[in-house]
Structure formats: C-alpha cells, structure tokens
A and B are shown apart, each in its own frame.
Chain A
Amino acid sequence: MVNDKSFVKMFRMAASFLDFEKKIMELEKKLEELRAVSKGEEADFSSEIRKMHKKVNQLRLETYSNLNRWQKTQLARHPSRPYAFDYIDEMTADFVELHGDRRFGDGTSIIGGFATMDDQPVMIIGQQKGRDTKEKMYRNFGMAHPEGYRKSLRLMQLANKFRTPIITLLDTPGAYPGIGAEERGQAEAVARNLYEMACLSVPIVCVVIGEGGSGGALAMGVGNRVLMMEFAVYSVISPEGCAAILWKDQAKTVEAAEALSLTAQDLLAQGIIDEIVREPIGGAHRNPMRASHMLRRALRRNLKELTAMSPEELVAHRRDKFRKIGPYNE
C-alpha cells in the first residue's frame, strides 16, 4: 500500500500532457516559476500570482468543459490516469488479492480480492493496465485473456457465497484478440460472465473508470448500478477500429468517436448508465486522491441503497435493468 504523499508524487512524476492540455501546462509552469521567484524576493508578487492563478483556472474550466468525444477518449486513456489498483489502495483497507481461475492461469490483466470499504466487506475486482513498460507487459495492457474473466467470475461467485457486495472497475481496451485467447474460448468466457452475473444475488456496482472497451469491459459490467467516471468512455468498438471498418480510413478516428456517442454524458442520456462520478478539474489524474474520494462516496451511497434489497429483488432488478436497454420502433 502506498502512503498518501508518495501516491500523489508518483502521479506528478508520471503526469504527461495531451495536446489540448499544453496551454494549461505552460501557464502552470509560469505560475510555478513566479511562486519560486517570489519566495526569494522582497518585492511583492502576490497580486500577479493571484491573477495568474485565476487565469489558469479559467483556462482549465474552459478546456475541460468543451472537450470533444475524441479528447475525452484520450483522457480516458491518459497514461497518468489512476488505474484499478490505485483506486483500491485509496478507497479500501485490508485488501487481500486473490489469484487464479483454477483452470489455466492467473489472468493478470484482472485483479481482485476481498477488502474493507467504509467498514463494509466488499469484493472488488478491476481490469488493470500497467504503469511502466514492465508492468504494461505483465498486465497485457489491460487486455484480459479468458483466464482473467474466469478468475473474475470465480471471485464474484465466492462473494455471492459469503453475501459480500461486489464492485467491479472497468478499464480495458478490450478482451485480448490472440491465438491463445481464441483457443481457450474468449467468447465463451465473456458470455459465461454475462450469464452468471445476471444470476448473482448480492449487490453489484460496476464503474467504468477509464476505457470501457466493448465486450471485454461488459464481461464484468452486468451490475445493479453502472457508474462512469466523468471522463470515461464505454463503447462497442474503439474509435480507431470503427474508423478502419466503416470509413476504411484510420485518420477518421475523431469522426468515429463523435459518431459512437461513447462518453459518460452520452451514456447517461441513453439510459445505459445510472450515474456519472465527477472528476477533479482536468481529470482524475490531476488529483487521484480526490477522484478516489468522490468515487468512494458514490459507491457508498449506491451500496447502501442496494443492500436494502432482498437477494431475489437484486437478481430481478439487475435482469430488468438490462432487459430495458435498446430502442426500437414497433
């Protein structure tokens, strides 16, 4: 477990910037310089600092309230964005990671285990990307093999046995498309999770914390409540994949992202998700602790509401929720 200070430091160090963040970064740097200078000088810079501070805030607000869908997708994939483990560290105590699908392997793109959150036992399972090159490889860039999904199901059924509420954190480019994954039944693993999650009788809250990549994300997404972080996306296909297939042109990624309506705001309007969890201005990576705090509050409230329901009600509620999704003319 990382302590608070090193947690923040780690993110500051890792923070890199997207194109649309550049201007903000430059202003922030100037502000930082001004502050440094003012410390050593007798002259009073405080009014300039205040002005500069206001300017930075103004620019942040303008930038982040006017992002297009592709820019939000980039934020959702931001390399400094908190990942499942970071949220688990911040939100829970006493996390005991459990490994393995008991059939083939560990499935290291997915992590999970029992933990305590607000004095409540929970089973928390997340799709985990890697921070540095070595971890990225180890986590297979968050793209799970069948054993990852089968492990997640094993843990969910374990939670069900002990009447423990389940929290899943979704953040994956998609289920891994590879030879071994196909040989071991990627499709069956995803399908089985969808089916079994519809049968569990404990509360399930799913949160898209970053990239909700198609069936690979949905395989852990059948919850009584589905939440999305403000700058998360959730889509049937990546904008890149969609551009390649429908436009036959990789350069049409921005257009594809627009067409797919994949942001948290889109999905709330479509009635597919239940709630958006606000992020700090500039995104969760600008203040991971605050982001964790906001998510934890949302989880606590949702779990409290759900634990009031009986096991039968929970199953019926979850099935009914997905039953209603998808418009048609008749």
Chain B
Amino acid sequence: MSWFSRVKAPLETGSKRAVPEGVFIKCEDCGEMLYSVDFDNVFRVCSKCGKHHVISAYRRIDLLIDEGTFAEKDQNLSSTDPLKFRDTMKYRDRLKSAERVSGMKEALVSGSGKMNGWEVEICVFEFGFLGGSMGSVVGEKITRGVERAIEKKCPVITVSCSGGARMQEGTYSLMQMAKTSAALSMLSEAGLPFISVLTHPTAGGVTASFVMLGDVIIAEPEALICFAGPRVIEQTLRQKLPEGFQRSEFLMEHGFLDAIVPRDELKRTITSLIRHMSAAIPEENRSNPRET
C-alpha cells in the first residue's frame, strides 16, 4: 500500500528549524526560486503560486500549537523489526538511515499542547521518515494519543502525510488500521471531537483508516488524497487519469471533505471547530477568552 515510497523525501528534514541561510529553493510547481528563510517562515507555501510543499512534523507543530506549550509524548517508541524483513536492504538498516537523515525515531510526532488556548492531543506525520508510513509504532502512538485525549477529555487532531501502511512490518502494519479506528470509536463515545487534517500526500492504509473517520475532515489545497495510488490505477486500467483526480478539490466535490483550508488559516479554522464541538470538554481544557 505504500505507493509513495518511491517519491523522494522532501529536501527539508525533520530537525527543528535547521534552515540553511542564503539558499534558494525552487517551487515544485511553478519553478519560482524562493529564498529559504522566507520560504520557511511562511511554512513552505510558494509566495508566487501558493503551492503547499511538504513540511516537517515539528514545523507543522510550530504552525498549529501555541509556542512553548507542546509536550512530546512517546518519542522513544521505535520499531522492533518483528519480521526481520529484508528486501534489497535490511529494514533495520533502512530504519537507521531514516533516523540519520530525518533526526527522528519514527514517522510520527505526537504529544499534547494548546491551540489558541485549547488543550489538544496532536499527532503529526513525518514524511521524511520512510514516506510517513504507518507501522506498529505509528499505530501505537496514534492510539495512545487518542487514549490520553479520552482520559483528560480533550480533542484529537491528526495531520496526515503518508504513503500508507509500512510493508516491512507486514500484517502488523495492516492491523494498525483496525487498532487506530477502534480507538477512535471510544473517543466518539466520550463525545470528544476528532479533527483530521489531510496534507499532500495521504494514501493507502492511512487514508483508509483513522484519517477518513474525522468528525470534521479538512485538507490543504491540491493535496493528493487516495486509497489506491494513481500509478496503481493507471497500471490496472491502462489509461491516463484525468487532471485533478484524487486531489483535495476532487474529494470535496465527491463529498469526502468538509473543507479545504490553506495552511495559514488552518489553526484558526481548527480552533473554531473545537469551540463548536466542545460540549464534553471540561473547563480546564478550554481556552480562556481573555487570553485569545
């Protein structure tokens, strides 16, 4: 299901704000040369064409979570390589090299923090770590995030950016789809909101599980969101796919998204939604109106 494993990892790595100065980055869409520091300051949205480039999990947290309030959880969870998987390379070595390149232990950052004063549990995918693929650790971290939210009665926000389930952990990876979905059914029973944010790209087993179960589902503009990747469909049908197929706008048109929200409006939109869906959220987790 990981059709995006061949998509090259984004230039930017997962390390916190390690933006080289005096470097220009070329927009993937319009080719405009963008000054790296400016580009990073606007969270990698092209100032000319508005293309939303992939950003690291930590930058996403900078974007969404109030400064100084983020407390990362479960950051020591790492894969056991349960199948001793080996293709052209050992999975163990792939993990090591992903860790070296991205500076992360896994493809997801999770923790608690405030969003315009509202307490939330947030889970953000790191595409730079094995294409943001979901194995046992990613599934476990999401599930724990949901469980913490149930425990302390706060919303769950996920930001997905993933090629799908991680092949190297076999059926264990597949089962994370069921595990995360079951956890969300308990969050629902507690009357707590789950807001699912989809970014480019979100595919396969990640799309086909917790991602599509949001009380509200939001996507960034022009994100590729699919179950089967376009290449798989093209190979199956032996035909070219229409322009815009499986992009955010396409999903919205077919009734699978609540809204398409540009990056710079995400935080405000999510905060409004939390307020509207906050019946079960206790006083201590609510925003103090005087603060916001």
Judge whether A267 and B213 touch: CB under 8 Å: no
Binds A, one of B33-41, B174-182, B259-267, B273-281: B174-182
Judge whether B79 and A328 touch: CB under 8 Å: yes
Judge whether B245 and A326 touch: CB under 8 Å: no
Judge whether B174 and A236 touch: CB under 8 Å: yes
Query: Which residue of chain A is the closest to B256 with respect to CB atoms?
Result: A185
Across the interface, which residues of A come within 8 angstroms of B237, CB to CB?
178-179
Using A190-B209, A195-B181, A218-B177 as known contacts, say yes or no to A328 and B245 having CB atoms under 8 A apart: no
Across the interface, which residues of A come within 8 angstroms of B197, CB to CB?
none
Across the interface, which residues of B come within 8 angstroms of A179, CB to CB?
233, 237, 241, 245
Q: Is A105 an interface residue (CB 8 A)?
A: no
Q: Is B19 an interface residue (CB 8 A)?
A: no
User: Which residue, of B143, B175, B176, has the highest number of chain A Cβ atoms within 10 A?
Assistant: B175
Across the interface, which residues of B come within 8 angstroms of A325, CB to CB?
136, 172, 175-176, 178-179
Q: Is B292 an interface residue (CB 8 A)?
A: no
Judge whether B213 and A323 touch: CB under 8 Å: no
Against B, the Cβ 8 Å flags (1 = close, 0 = not) of A190-222 are: 111011101100000000000000110011011
Q: Which of B41-93 contact A (CB under 8 A)?
A: 74, 76-80, 82-83, 85-88
Judge whether B181 and A214 touch: CB under 8 Å: no
Q: Which of B218-265 contact A (CB under 8 A)?
A: 225-228, 232-233, 236-237, 241, 245-246, 254-256
Q: Is A237 an interface residue (CB 8 A)?
A: yes
Q: Is A247 an interface residue (CB 8 A)?
A: yes
Judge whether B173 and A236 touch: CB under 8 Å: yes
Q: Which of A182, A195, A237, A260 contacts B1 (CB 8 A)?
A: A237
Query: Which residue of chain A is the closest to B185 with respect to CB atoms?
Result: A198
Using A179-B241, A187-B226, A267-B171 as known contacts, say yes or no to A215 and B77 having CB atoms under 8 A apart: no
Q: Which of B5, B174, B184 contacts A215 (CB 8 A)?
A: B174
Q: How many residues of B contact A (CB 8 A)?
A: 67
User: Which residue, of A177, A196, A270, A328, has the highest number of chain B Cβ atoms within 10 A?
Assistant: A328
Against B, the Cβ 8 Å flags (1 = close, 0 = not) of A147-182 are: 000000000000000000000000000010111011
Q: Is B170 an interface residue (CB 8 A)?
A: yes
Q: Which of A100-135 contact B (CB under 8 A)?
A: none
A-B contact count (CB 8 A): 205
Q: Which of A183, A190, A247, A260 contacts B208 (CB 8 A)?
A: A190
Judge whether A186 and B170 touch: CB under 8 Å: no
Q: Is A234 an interface residue (CB 8 A)?
A: yes
Q: Is A327 an interface residue (CB 8 A)?
A: yes
User: Which residue, of A215, A248, A259, A330, has the highest number of chain B Cβ atoms within 10 A?
Assistant: A215
Using A199-B185, A259-B86 as known contacts, say yes or no to A187 and B227 having CB atoms under 8 A apart: yes
22 interchain pairs (CB within 8 A)? A175-B227, A182-B233, A185-B254, A187-B207, A187-B208, A187-B212, A187-B225, A195-B181, A214-B205, A215-B165, A236-B1, A246-B168, A259-B87, A261-B83, A318-B182, A319-B183, A325-B175, A326-B139, A326-B175, A327-B136, A327-B172, A328-B78
The residues of A with any CB-CB pair to B shorter than 8 Å are 175, 177-179, 181-188, 190-192, 194-196, 198-199, 214-215, 218-219, 221-222, 234-237, 242, 245-248, 252, 255-256, 259-262, 266-267, 270, 272, 318-319, 322-323, 325-330
The residues of B with any CB-CB pair to A shorter than 8 Å are 1-3, 5-6, 74, 76-80, 82-83, 85-88, 135-137, 139-140, 143, 165-179, 181-186, 204-205, 207-213, 225-228, 232-233, 236-237, 241, 245-246, 254-256
